[in-house]
Structures are given as structure tokens and as C-alpha cells.
Structure 1
Amino acid sequence: MDTTTLLETAAHGDQAAWDALVDRYASLLWAIARGHRLADADAADVVQTTWLKLVENLGRIKDPDRLPGWLATTARHECLRVIRRAGRERPADERDWQDEPADGRGVDAALLLDERNATLWRALATLSEQCRRLLRVLMATPPPSYAEVADALDMPVGSIGPTRQRCLARLRERAGAAGLGTEDRT
């Protein structure tokens, strides 16, 4: 069923149409939330708030074919709102989180993993906006289809694979220059 029909029937209370919209675009929203490096609970809040905003605006969507872009923009705005809010919140007592048991990983392994991830995120930040957006969307679990990626990023389906390869090559190159060896791919 096409997006226009899904939106119209969902606006009239059809649960199956709503479920189809969620199935079609949920991975896109999760990819955006994860791309902003939000905690799982915050990412879930962003995704749920984005769906709520769609419900509130179902009758106002003028061009249903641009729904993936509308959802992506709304999710990004929600991510930024969560990040701003988190910057203002501080734990009441530092001892609360310091007394929690460790997750079982050694301190060395955790530090190395954190350092590797930070290096990778810094290398990702040096890529073009197009590469960053494409790689973040493709990191979704489950991965979105190329058609969904093409809709969300407004790019031809046939250029997604080659662009992805070029972006990953640049990311490997920059991560390697930043000290993240290619042998460390955990």
C-alpha cells in the first residue's frame, strides 16, 4: 500500500494502516536516534514522541511522499531537544551511580572500547554531512531497505551502495589516521 493511502486510512483510525507505517519507518527513526548517541531509553522516547507528533499532524501532511523526510526531521529535532535537556540535568548524588555493580567487563577492556568508540565517532564527524547521514541511517537495527533510505535521504537507490562504500573507505582512512587500527574491528 502506498504512503498516501496508509496516511489517509490511519487518519481514519485504521490500526492496520498505522502498523504498516510503523513497520515501514521505525528503523529510520531508530537509526536517527542512535546516530545522536542517545541512551536506549532516550532513543525510545524520541521514536515514540516522533510517532505522537505524526498522529497529531496526520491531517496536515500535504505531500505524503515526503513523509520519510518529515519523520527524519521531526526525530532529529526531538534528539536535539533531549540532548539539550540532558545537558541541564545533573545527578543529585554522585555516589548513587558509583555504588552500582560493574557490568563484568574489566576496566581495561571498557576503557579501550570507550576510547575506540570515541575515536570512531570523531572520525565520523570529519566526514561530509551526506556520509554521516547515510551511515547513521544504515546503522539501524534492523537495517532499512534501500528504498526507505532513498526516501529518507532523497537520493537515488542506485547510488546508495557506491556512496556507502566511499563513505566507509573515508571513515576507515580517517579512523586509521586517528589511531584506530584496522585490525581492531570489534
Structure 2
Amino acid sequence: MHGQPPADASASLWDRAAEAHARWRAGDRLALDDLVRTLTPALWHTARSYGLSEDAAKDVLQNAWVRLVRDPGQVRDSQAVAGWLLTTTRRLAWASTRAREVPVEEVAPTAPDSSPTPEEAAIAGFEASRLWGAVNSLNARCQRLLRIVAFAERPDYAALSADTGMPVGSIGPTRRRCLDKLRLLLEGELA
């Protein structure tokens, strides 16, 4: 069962996380790997949305996972595991930012290294810097929303609502407005 997608290939990120968590709680030790693979991208961008450096964000994620593994009983309902980990990540990231300020250059996430040519690396770096610079110029609400939904195949609006405090009905329109602002910022750079 390890490495197998859920029976419903269109399952949301939250459903896949719940399924992996349930298998892990039932004794499938390898299911924890599936849970980590499923949720780490969303947790990573949640931590980075607080302006943490890559190293600080790695520490936050490691601490969030350690808290879950050390006391698996604190999340009894597998459907709640994604929300619990997002909340834990946010709290740890917030605590990490209280004592330090991060230069803007450290805030923009970088693409994973896949051994590009120097030219490809330069172009990708420029594009990532341009995109994340534009994202960082948006208000905090847009930044948080776009960082979370950008990495979820089919975001669960109920869980997203609980995580962000936004009503379910305003998530889609707010996302659209944020994306429109982002597009205008990026188009303005080209003009």
C-alpha cells in the first residue's frame, strides 16, 4: 500500500493526508513517508510565508513533524491532521520570526536543484525572483492565500477556511482578486 495513491485519484490534498495518517496510526510505518510527501510542500510555503530563511523554514518543518511523531495521539481524527500540522507550522514560524528580521533576498523561495545549465539557472532564478518579489509586494492576506493554494492540487475550501479564518464563499473570489493583482504587477514590470 505504501507509495500507492488513494483509491480516488482526484482526492484532495487533505483527503490524501488523512488517508496516510490513518494508515500510519493503524501501524503502517511507511505511511508516514506518504504523509510527509503529501503535506511538506504546503507546510514549506506556510513557513516561508512568515519570511523565514530556507534553513529556518527547514527547522520549523522538522519541529512540526517531530511534534506529531513524538505524540501521535494528539491528532485522533485523521481528517484533522493537515489542519493540525498547518497550525503547528504557523505557530512555530511565528515564534521563529519574533526575534529576527529577514532580508527580502532570503524570503523568495528558490526552485529545487535539478542540475540546470548555468543559463537555465540564471533564467529560472530571475523568473522566481520576479514572481516572488511580486507576491511579496501583495498584502499579507493575499500572500498567505496564494502560497497555500499554489501547492494544493484541489484545495479543500473548508479546511482552508478554518486555516485562514476566511469564509468559504470568499476564498475563490479573494484568490481571483489576488491573482489579478499579481498578474498586473508582473505585467507592469514588462511594460
Pick the TM interval, shorter chain. 0.5 to 0.7
Higher radius of gyration, 1 or 2: 1
Name the CA distance, whole Å, in 1 between partners of 2:34 and 2:158.
16
Hey, what's the Cα distance between the residues in 2 that align with 1:161 and 1:38?
27
Change (3 A) 1:82 1:54: same
Amino acid at match of 2:70: E
1:153 matched residue in structure 2? 160
Which amino acid is 1:182 matched to?
A: G
Q: CA deviation at 1:71?
A: 0.9
Assess, with a 3 A threshold, how the Cα gap between structure 1 residues 161 and 70 changes in structure 2: closer, same or farther. Answer: same
CA distance in 2, matches of 1:50, 1:159: 29
Query: d(CA) in 2 for partners of 1:150 and 1:36?
Result: 22
Report Cα offsets for 1:21-72 as digits up to 9, x if no partner. Answer: 1111111110101111111100111111111111123112132212211111
Higher helix share goes to which structure? 1
CA distance in 1, matches of 2:36, 2:88: 15
- Deviation of residue 79 (structure 1)? 0.4
Matches within 5 A, 1:24-173: 24-86=38-100, 117=133, 121=136, 123-125=137-139, 129=141, 131-139=142-150, 143-147=151-155, 150=157, 152-154=159-161, 163-171=174-182
Give the alignment's TM-score, normalised by structure 2: 0.59
Unaligned runs of 5+ in 2: 1-5, 7-14, 102-128
- In structure 1, the gaps of 5 or more residues are 88-112
| One of 10, 13, 16 as aligned partner of 2:30 | 16
Identical counterparts, % of pairs: 37
TM-score, scaled to structure 1: 0.61
What count of residue pairs does the alignment treat as equivalent?
A: 146
Verify the 8 A CA contact 2:43 2:61 in the aligned structure 1: yes
- The two structures, once aligned, show a CA RMSD in angstroms of 3.6
Which amino acid letter does the alignment assign opposite residue 145 of structure 1? Answer: E
The answer for the alignment partner of 2:188 in structure 1 is 182
